[in-house]
Structure 1
Amino acid sequence: MSAAPDATASPSLLARVRKTPFWVQIVAGLVLGVALGYLARAADISWLATTLETIGKTFVQLLKLAVPPLVFTAIVVSVANLRNVTNAARLAGRTLLWFLITSLIAVAIGLGLGLLTNPGQGTELSTEGLKAPKSSGTWVDFLTGIIPTNIVTSFTEVNVLQIVFLAVVVGAAIIKLGDKAAPVLKLNETVLELTQTALWWVIRLSPLGTLGLIGKSVAKYGWDLLEPFATLTADVYVGCALVLFVVYSLLLKFVGGLNPLNFFKGAWPAIQLAFVSRSSVGTLPVTRRVTERLGVPSDYASFAVPFGATTKMDGCAAIYPSLAAIFVAQVYGVHLGIGDYLLIAFVSVIGSAATAGLTGAIVMLTLTLSTLGLPLEGVGLLLAIDPILDMVRTATNVAGQAVVPILVAAREKTLDLVAYNNPTGDLYAEAPVPVPAQGGEKVPAAA
């Protein structure tokens, strides 16, 4: 007769990892990534550096794989379900208004820091041999590029701006057709649910992805890279921190009448995931979950959060381009006047959709530089430092994408204050957010 299993036996390593809070796993991956990256660089261990790069690249590729179906179905479903939202037009208008207001504040902070610190002066960076990007953002490209010439190409090349355009058109057509389009809406809801469930599995790999992404940056660039970019790096991090922790807190407190600490307690999982993944769209399922957990009605959140994930970029499209433009102008000895600074603000607010929620902000940067007439070769100066800057930029983006729906819901008196004031529980242990179905009912999501 076999012996009964020992109930006092210690749990396996996998079981202990699963019981570890997710934020602890993320921090552990961050610390281990820095250590392994430093080891690979200091001891010149090429295979370790390659392994770290492969792990990080694979994680980002898995996130990007979900972008086309996630963006398309999320926008289609959110637009179509606006018909179930009371005062939908007013909510959409106020959401856009607060997107603009917060973007203006962010770009003002970026310009202020740039003028105070002069990040490009004294850097002694060589600009010889630098080439302009093969593709650059211009206003003509931006405006004409919204409308696709080939639907398939929009998805295969992951042109998020065109995917958003197609999704809005399809969502509006579903509203127009009503019950006739019910099967199409149901299909999009199902695909969205499947995509979010699969993406959730990828998100669970974030600690491993963090290890690879951070380790690769340290192994490839080391700390010496920061020296000529020290002021710019500090400006970006300080600017994003001011927007993330000061501006958003003041808006929540004095505009929404809410306790900012509860926001950060509830939204932190999305902010930290954005920091390591560097993808607003990849963080979208978590952003939506934290927004709803903080009391925003599901029907409204299903519109505001996906819309924000593709257009609301306070870090990548406001703070960073303003500082980068000043940096490039000073490196090349180009004087910027008051009109140029106003133009930067205009580009940052209107052109933020060009960043499209993907890793990096090169499109937005080239759009800003080309509008100001600055050398596009300056983009080459910033490519190496971009991954380090992109982490805090994306964290700021995602925080803003959650703050605005909360502010609007609070001012509309639709925010669940009990939920906002008690954002408890392990977000990653909960079931994914349900997808709004026809008639306002909820479709249970897969576990």
Structure 2
Amino acid sequence: MTSDASDSSGKKAALSLQWQMLAGFLTGLILGLAVYMTAPEARWVDIVTTYVTGPIGQVFLRLLFMLVIPLLVSALIVGIAEMGEMRSLRRIGVRTLLYTLVVSGIAVVISLLLVNLLRPGGGVDPAQAQAMLADAGSGAKAILARSGDTPSGMQALIAIIPDNIIGAMADNDILAVMVFALFFGIGLVLVQTEQSKILLTAMEGLFEVTMRLIGIVIRLAPIAIACFMFNLAAQFGWDLLIRLSAYVGVVLLALVIQMFVIYPLLIAFLAKRSPLRFFAAVQEASVMAFTASSNATLPTAIRVAEDKLRLPRRISRFVLTIGATANQNGTAMFEGITVLFLAQFFGVDLSLTQQFMVMLVCILGGVGTAGVPAGSLPVVAMILGMVGVPPEGIGLVLGVDRFLDMCRTALNVTGDLVAATVIAAGEEDERGRIAT
């Protein structure tokens, strides 16, 4: 009874926070537009943005940056290591990992192609973009200064492997840190000792503590969003709304292609099943995902996999449990589109090498991002800083993130069921029958 009450209160709190974020978005937008129309050059506007709204937004971002490294390291290590907890499922774990990386890669490539072709953030006045870059806070400027020294070409590929993991963390070299976490997780899969299990437990504890702290920081999001949107709307005016609607359209288009083109092809050619029957069977879990997180939808997804898709229990539970954290195609697509959209908006020209790095981080971020509302926010903020885009730009998308989060979570949950169906193809169930 107590557990049910706490779950209910947690959902109400999350819903309340989402409405607060929307309210903050609208408040900042309306006030910023009012300033843009009535007093765009007023001295007091500069004072407010320099000493009030700007610092508040920077505090919020710095709190996220402070926690993103331990979050990603612990989540990625635990996600990889859990694949080898049961020796009998080690082969399934390897197949799950390879499938996740390949399909997430396809999702991110689709996203980057769409955002480069349609350019939802393009066309902003270069003078305004430069002004916004000049007004970036000290924390963002420090990140931008580091990004100017980012290696390119072959050196960029070599730099993915860190020679000093502590230095990589200190420099916020997120890709190098995630590669280290990936290898460390594989090491925990290979080493099955009592000591390694203790180390894995410690990583799980680090993940839980970091998630709790990020949950506290996220409660400041409504105020930060209002500050971000005030600064952006006062700077860009009505052009902000036009670009924002184009951004939402590109995200939805990418999610639709992955859901109704890529997934049916995987089901038809790899799982040898009818895509129509598959979508009919999983509709309950997909609809449930619109009102919850990937983790919260996990019990429904497991029941659908076992009762309606008739997947072997040992495979469905393993793949879906891992997938709730690791196989998040919708999250990876959202992160990639958001980073490139904001780069276009602020006039930051990303080279092919930088876009390739963004793609790698999004693929690994899909593995390391927690399956909870706003779980991708720290990753997006860090990638923005890594490629030289003002992290304050996340304020642009947070106001519409609730709707996009519902859509990408539905894709994440459906993608987990696709993964379980593909990986279960040809495997024996508990009664010795081959799954078809």
**TM-score of the superposed pair, with normalisation by structure 2:** 0.61
Q: Name 1:101's counterpart in structure 2.
A: 106
Q: How does 1:1-400 map to 2 (within 5 A)?
A: 18=9, 21-34=12-25, 37=28, 49=53, 53=57, 56-57=60-61, 60=64, 63-64=67-68, 66-67=70-71, 69-71=73-75, 73-81=77-85, 83-85=87-89, 86-114=91-119, 120-121=122-123, 123=125, 125=127, 133-136=144-147, 137=150, 138-178=152-192, 181-184=193-196, 186-202=197-213, 205=216, 208-222=219-233, 224-229=235-240, 231-244=242-255, 247-248=258-259, 255=267, 257-259=278-280, 262-268=284-290, 287-291=294-298, 293-295=300-302, 297-301=316-320, 303-304=322-323, 306-308=325-327, 313-317=332-336, 320-321=339-340, 324=343, 328=347, 351-354=358-361, 357=365, 358-360=378-380, 385-389=393-397, 395=405
Q: Name 1:279's counterpart in structure 2.
A: none
Aligned equivalents of 1:55 and 1:134: distance in 2?
Answer: 19
Q: Which amino acid aligns with 1:299?
A: F
Q: Deviation at 1:25?
A: 0.9
What do residues 149-204 of structure 1 show as CA deviations (whole Å, max 9, x unaligned)? 223334444544333333333333344444xx3321x2233224323433453465
CA contact (8 A) 2:78 2:204 kept: no
Aligned equivalents of 2:255 and 2:115: distance in 1?
Answer: 13
CA contact (8 A) 1:317 1:351 kept: yes
Aligned equivalents of 1:310 and 1:385: distance in 2?
Answer: 23
CA contact (8 A) 1:291 1:406 kept: no
Q: Name 1:443's counterpart in structure 2.
A: none
**TM-score of the superposed pair, with normalisation by structure 1:** 0.60
Q: Deviation at 1:78?
A: 3.1
Q: Which amino acid aligns with 2:108?
A: S
Aligned equivalents of 2:335 and 2:285: distance in 1?
Answer: 22
What do residues 387-418 of structure 1 show as CA deviations (whole Å, max 9, x unaligned)? 3147768847766655433311133348xxxx
CA contact (8 A) 1:75 1:303 kept: yes
Aligned equivalents of 1:249 and 1:217: distance in 2?
Answer: 35
CA contact (8 A) 1:94 1:408 kept: yes
Say if 1:387 and 1:36 are closer, same or farther in 2 by CA, change over 3 A: closer
CA contact (8 A) 2:27 2:226 kept: yes
> How many residue pairs align between the two structures?
356
SS of the residue 1:166 aligns to: helix
What do residues 215-254 of structure 1 show as CA deviations (whole Å, max 9, x unaligned)? 2223333365254455543332211122235642565677
Q: Which amino acid aligns with 1:360?
A: V
CA contact (8 A) 1:30 1:214 kept: yes
Q: Which amino acid aligns with 1:294?
A: A
CA contact (8 A) 1:77 1:171 kept: yes
CA contact (8 A) 2:251 2:337 kept: no
Aligned equivalents of 1:167 and 1:157: distance in 2?
Answer: 16
The structure showing larger relative contact order (alpha-carbon pairs under 8 Å, at least 6 residues apart) is 2
CA contact (8 A) 1:84 1:299 kept: no
Say if 1:264 and 1:250 are closer, same or farther in 2 by CA, change over 3 A: farther
Identity percentage over the alignment?
Answer: 12
Aligned equivalents of 2:58 and 2:341: distance in 1?
Answer: 33
Aligned equivalents of 1:194 and 1:174: distance in 2?
Answer: 16
- In structure 2, stretches of 5+ residues that fail to align are 1-5, 36-43, 135-140, 268-274, 306-315, 366-377, 426-436
What do residues 297-342 of structure 1 show as CA deviations (whole Å, max 9, x unaligned)? 443345545555799721332575389569959xx9xxxxxxx9xx
Q: Deviation at 1:29?
A: 1.4
Q: Which amino acid aligns with 2:380?
A: G
SS of the residue 2:127 aligns to: coil
